[in-house]
Amino acid sequence: MKTQTLTRSNSSHLFSAPVIVAALGYFVDIYDLLLFGIVRIPSLVSLGLSEADISLVGASILNWQMTGLLLGGILWGVLGDKKGRLSVLFGSIITYSLANIACGFVQDPFTYKILRFVAGIGLAGELGAGITLVSEILPKHLRAIGTSLVAGIGLLGAVVAYFTVEFFDWRYAYFIGGGLGISLLLLRIGVFESGIFKDVKNQKHIEKGNFFALFNNKDRLARYLKCIGIGLPTWFVIGILATFSNEFGKALGIAEPIKPGLSIMWCYVGLSMGDLCSGFLSHWLESRKRAVFYLMVFTLIFSVIYLYGGIGKASHLYTIAGFLGFGIGYWAMFVTIGAEQFGTNLRATAATTIPNMVRGTVVLMTTLFASFKESFSVINSGAMVGVLCFFIGIFCILTVPETHGRDLDFLEE
């Protein structure tokens, strides 16, 4: 297979200001996005909730946050195509930073839900706008590597979030997250807008950012739904297997209490490594689809091991969480595929809404998981949710159009 040598010129593209700032922006985004999952138990305990209430209220707050991501994805995606990729990055950072600072002062579960909902809206804009910007400014042979660098570096925010909570009270962790977001605004100065977008921006006759245009054409709708389907296994791992790892640990008979925050951290360590590798794998294979498919099958195998492999020690569960994270490291390629599927006038709308639609499905996953637990064991309930997610994910990646090497200077009619 032919591969591109990373020359000095290529390196200057990959380590340009927009790529670096997008990576740091996603770092803060992930820190703030995963923070509730990490502080869920200690924060709700400090608010006076019982163990039973922590499970129910925690799932409810997570659902509010994910619903905010779903709605925010639409809002920021449309604005990204109408006003520009950079305007979304500024607006989303301000929104989630202020909401996270406010979370540090929360005193009751209802206010907690509202603030996580607002934070979710803000967090929805960072990834899609950043990936869209990076995809449009990099040469097509470097897009896979560039977007994987953004995601790989950015996902380490989960590791920093975990250790922040280990050394500081959960309220200070929220303050730190908000402060990091505000400081990011200074780094945005001097980052330039995508040339492809600027060429289209002033052409008034071209309809830009019409969210409903994703649904009024059969082929476009199919591409959109398949892009969403590809991402379902990623949030099955994060939203079910890692977030509720304490429940799985009990069901598996592990004596040592499992810390969900630690499971999430190890999952994201693996995810960061997987994202970095997925870009080079796609580059080497000259195929987005094959890279994602191989990693999805890898994730399926370790999901079965997690649930039915007879894990008996906490350390083993955390190790498997790391392997699961590596498997879902196709996240960067998944978002890149979403950006590459659509024309410039709908690209930010698609690339921003697709990952947040996937995040929003966590509401359905947790609801199904809770419903199944009324009749089945925790292990089998998790497995049933997983079967559905992997079936859809594998079907979608096998049937979605290949986008490796595609020229992005085109429009959706």
Which tens digit of pLDDT belongs to each residue from 273-299? 898 888 889 888 989 999 999 999 999
Which token pair is 72?
A: 């925010």
What are 261-273's pLDDT values in tens digits? Answer: 889 889 988 988 8
Residue 5 confidence (pLDDT): 45
Neighbours of 280 (CB within 10 A): 15
Average per-residue pLDDT for the chain:
85
Instruction: With beta carbons less than 8 A apart as the criterion, state whether 26 and 125 touch.
Output: no
Q: What is the arithmetic mean of pLDDT over 129-151?
A: 81
Which token pair is 404?
A: 């490796």
Cα distance between residue 11 and residue 258, in whole Å: 42
Instruction: With beta carbons less than 8 A apart as the criterion, state whether 261 and 319 touch.
Output: no
Half-sphere exposure of 189 (CA within 13 A, CB side): 4
> Where are the domains positioned within the chain?
16-193+214-399
Residue 2 confidence (pLDDT): 42
Instruction: With beta carbons less than 8 A apart as the criterion, state whether 34 and 173 touch.
Output: no
Say which residue, 248 or 38, is predicted with more confidence.
248
What are 314-328's pLDDT values in tens digits? Answer: 999 999 999 999 999
State the residue for tokens 């409903």.
212
Neighbours of 102 (CB within 10 A): 18
Contacts 24+ apart (CB under 8 A), 55-60: 55/247, 57/109, 59/366, 59/370, 60/109, 60/113
Residue 27 confidence (pLDDT): 87
Residue 15 confidence (pLDDT): 75
Q: Enumerate residues 6+ apart whose C-beta is below 8 A from 106.
A: 43, 47, 112, 115
Window from 120-129, 206-215, 394-403 with minimum mean pLDDT: 206-215
Instruction: With beta carbons less than 8 A apart as the criterion, state whether 108 and 43 touch.
Output: no
155 dihedral zone (left: phi>0; alpha: psi -120 to 50; beta): alpha
Q: What is the DSSP letter of 193?
A: P
Neighbours of 131 (CB within 10 A): 30
Q: What is the arithmetic mean of pLDDT over 23-29?
A: 84
Q: What is the arithmetic mean of pLDDT over 357-371?
A: 88
Neighbours of 11 (CB within 10 A): 11
Residue 295 confidence (pLDDT): 97
Q: Which fold, 16-193+214-399?
A: Growth Hormone; Chain: A; (1.20.1250)
E-only strand ranges, 204-336: none
108 dihedral zone (left: phi>0; alpha: psi -120 to 50; beta): beta
Say which residue, 119 or 51, is predicted with more confidence.
119
Cα distance between residue 134 and residue 86, in whole Å: 11
State the residue for tokens 């994060």.
238
Q: How many residues comprise the chain?
A: 413
End-to-end CA gap in the chain = 35
Residue 362 confidence (pLDDT): 85
The top-scoring range by mean pLDDT among 30-39, 115-124, 145-154 is: 115-124
In this prediction, residue 197 has a pLDDT band, given cuts at 50, 70 and 90, of low
Q: What is the arithmetic mean of pLDDT over 230-256?
A: 93
Residue 209 confidence (pLDDT): 62
Does position 10 have pLDDT exceeding 80, yes or no? no
Residue 256 confidence (pLDDT): 92
CA-to-CA dists, residue 168 to 160, 209, 267, angstroms: 12, 42, 21
Q: What is the DSSP letter of 370?
A: H
Q: What is the arithmetic mean of pLDDT over 88-115?
A: 90
Cα distance between residue 32 and residue 104, in whole Å: 12
Cα distance between residue 214 and residue 258, in whole Å: 42
Q: Enumerate residues 6+ apart whose C-beta is below 8 A from 406.
A: 140, 340
Neighbours of 184 (CB within 10 A): 21
Residue 55 confidence (pLDDT): 80
Using a pLDDT cut of 70, give the percent of the chain over it.
91
Task: Report the candidate in 88, 100, 91, 125 with the shortest Cα–Cα distance to residue 180.
Answer: 100
